[in-house]
Amino acid sequence: MSAIANRLRRRPLIAELLAQRGTALIVPGLGSPNWDVFAAGDSPDYLYAWGGMGLAVPTALGLALARPERRVLAITGDGEMLMGIGALAVVADQAPANLAILVLDNESFAETGGQRGLTANLADIALAARGFGFTRTMTVSEHGAMPELVRLLFEIPGPALAVAKVAVTKDPWALPEKDGAAIAYRFRRALGLGEG
Amino acid sequence: MKARNISAVCTVPDGGLSLLLELVAADAAMRLVTLTTEAEGIGIATGCWLGGARAMTAMQSSGVGNSLNALSLPAAFRAPCLLLVTMRGQWGEFNSWQVPMGQAVRPALEAMDVKCFPVERAAEVGETFAAAADLAFMSRVSAAVLVSQRVIGAKGFGRQ
């Protein structure tokens, strides 16, 4: 396992990225990514999720296919990404130019007590993405790569995937709206969609 | 599917779906999304609806077992979810490995509050699919059309 003392801090990282998202739609995965995004401020463009582990990337893919004119960013963790790792093959196959994925990799199941995760040893999600057909990937472990990370996630044609090696931190709770119907209603209204 | 404005079909293919999937793939106005596991299709279709498009997932009955927790997503969002399931493990099944999940499809789906529309006769497939699609997309619930092996023919493994 690599030393994690100098790792990126997830909350400032997400806040800085979201400040530069432009009009991108954000799909945070359940657990910590959900709290990180809400802690940086609320927006109808954020599709909060409280369950369905493994589905952040498929949900973001569906959204990206339905709204090709909008950038879509899925923000997930190493645990959720590995649970749904096959979705990277689907994304590569569909090749949406407007979809990017950010994996906050803390090498542990931090939400459930800090149990060791599989990326702590040999598993490399960015390498797996390349194996599935992604050509635009990067792994970030220091703040200096921020401009390149912003370009990958929000500017260059996708699909793109970044792994950010982040520290295990004790961040204060930041809990967004939990009612999925209310989240979906607000999200769709902001896209100009009605009931149906 | 086209009459109900479904623009994307997500699938782990099944023999009983092959002609339908060929038609989707050949249609320039539709998108075929090949999956690694059926649960992805439920996430993709939910994301499509959140973005204003209609999608569905087509699978073999064994895929229902792979999808169960994913069904939480459309339920929580009050999003439509439409499944087309070709059944194994029931009518004339040759392969005992298909029987446990095949027999559990309906109780498992109903435990997740998915409205089930079984079809036993080929003539009823079209109207049943239309009814299930309308229920799913207009009432925004989860619905599954379960097409029996009696309609698609039991897989013969060279015996027939």
Q: Is B80 on the interface with A (CB under 8 A)?
A: no
Residue A124: helix, strand or coil by DSSP?
coil
Residue B90 CB partners (closer than 8 Å, separation 6+):
B99, B102, B103, B148, B149
Of A108, A106, A102, the C-alpha closest to A145 is A102
Q: Is A29 on the interface with B (CB under 8 A)?
A: no
Confidence grade of residue B57 (pLDDT, cut at 50, 70, 90): very high
Q: Is B119 on the interface with A (CB under 8 A)?
A: no
Q: Is B48 on the interface with A (CB under 8 A)?
A: yes
At residue B160, the pLDDT reads 53
Q: Is A95 on the interface with B (CB under 8 A)?
A: no
Q: Is A6 on the interface with B (CB under 8 A)?
A: no
Residue A133 CB partners (closer than 8 Å, separation 6+):
A89, A92, A93
Contact residues on chain A for B33, CB-CB shorter than 8 A: 65, 90, 94
Judged against a pLDDT cut of 70, whether residue A96 lies above it is answered with: yes
Confidence grade of residue A5 (pLDDT, cut at 50, 70, 90): low
The total number of structural domains that make up chain A: 1
pLDDT digits (tens, 9 = 90+) for A54-72: 999 999 999 999 999 999 9
- The chain A residue lying nearest B53, using CA atoms, is A66
Instruction: Compute the distance between CA of residue A185 and CA of residue A187 in angstroms, rounded to an integer.
Output: 6
Numbers of helices and strands, H then E, in chain A? 8, 7
Judged against a pLDDT cut of 50, whether residue A1 lies above it is answered with: no
Q: How many Cβ pairs closer than 8 A exist between chain A and B? A: 118
Tokens representing A86 are: 């096959």
Q: Strand B31-34: give its sheet, edge to edge.
A: B31-34, B6-11, B54-60, B81-86, B142-147, B115-119
Judged against a pLDDT cut of 90, whether residue A132 lies above it is answered with: yes
| ipTM at complex level | 0.95
Q: Is A187 on the interface with B (CB under 8 A)?
A: yes
Q: In terms of CATH architecture, what is B2-152? A: 3-Layer(aba) Sandwich (3.40)
Q: Is B14 on the interface with A (CB under 8 A)?
A: no
- The chain B residue lying nearest A49, using CA atoms, is B73
At residue B158, the pLDDT reads 74
| Amino acid letter for position B105 | V
Judged against a pLDDT cut of 50, whether residue A88 lies above it is answered with: yes
Q: Which of A50, A62, A191 is nearest residue B44 as measured by Cβ atoms?
A: A62
Q: Which domain holds residue A53?
A: 10-190
* C-beta separation of B81 from B46 below 8 A: yes
Q: Compute the nearest-CA separation of A45 from chain B (Å).
A: 11
Q: Which of B33, B43, B77 is nearest residue A94 as measured by Cβ atoms?
A: B33
Judged against a pLDDT cut of 50, whether residue A181 lies above it is answered with: yes
Q: What is the mean pLDDT of chain B?
A: 95
Do A66 and B52 make contact, defined as CB atoms within 8 angstroms? yes
Domain ranges of chain B: 2-152
pLDDT digits (tens, 9 = 90+) for B129-156: 999 999 999 999 999 999 999 998 877 7
- Which letter does DSSP use for residue A46 in this model? B
Do B47 and A61 make contact, defined as CB atoms within 8 angstroms? yes
Tokens representing A74 are: 């899925």
Residue range B49-71: mean pLDDT, rounded = 98
Q: Which of A63, A179, A183, A189 to mutate to test the interface with B (most CBs of B within 10 A)?
A: A63
Do B43 and A58 make contact, defined as CB atoms within 8 angstroms? yes
Instruction: Give the lowest-confidence range in A80-84, A167-171, B53-57.
Output: A167-171
**Burial per residue of A114-128, b for 16 or more beta-carbon CB atoms within 10 angstroms, e otherwise:** eeebebbeebebbeb
Do B73 and A90 make contact, defined as CB atoms within 8 angstroms? no
Residue range B124-130: mean pLDDT, rounded = 96
Residue range A114-140: mean pLDDT, rounded = 96
Do B40 and A180 make contact, defined as CB atoms within 8 angstroms? no
Residue range B91-100: mean pLDDT, rounded = 91
At residue A142, the pLDDT reads 84
Inside any domain, residue A4: no
Inside any domain, residue A3: no
The domain spanning residue A148 has which CATH number? Answer: 3.40.50.970
At residue B156, the pLDDT reads 73
Confidence grade of residue A196 (pLDDT, cut at 50, 70, 90): low
Q: Is A127 on the interface with B (CB under 8 A)?
A: no
Residue B93 CB partners (closer than 8 Å, separation 6+):
B99, B102, B149, B154
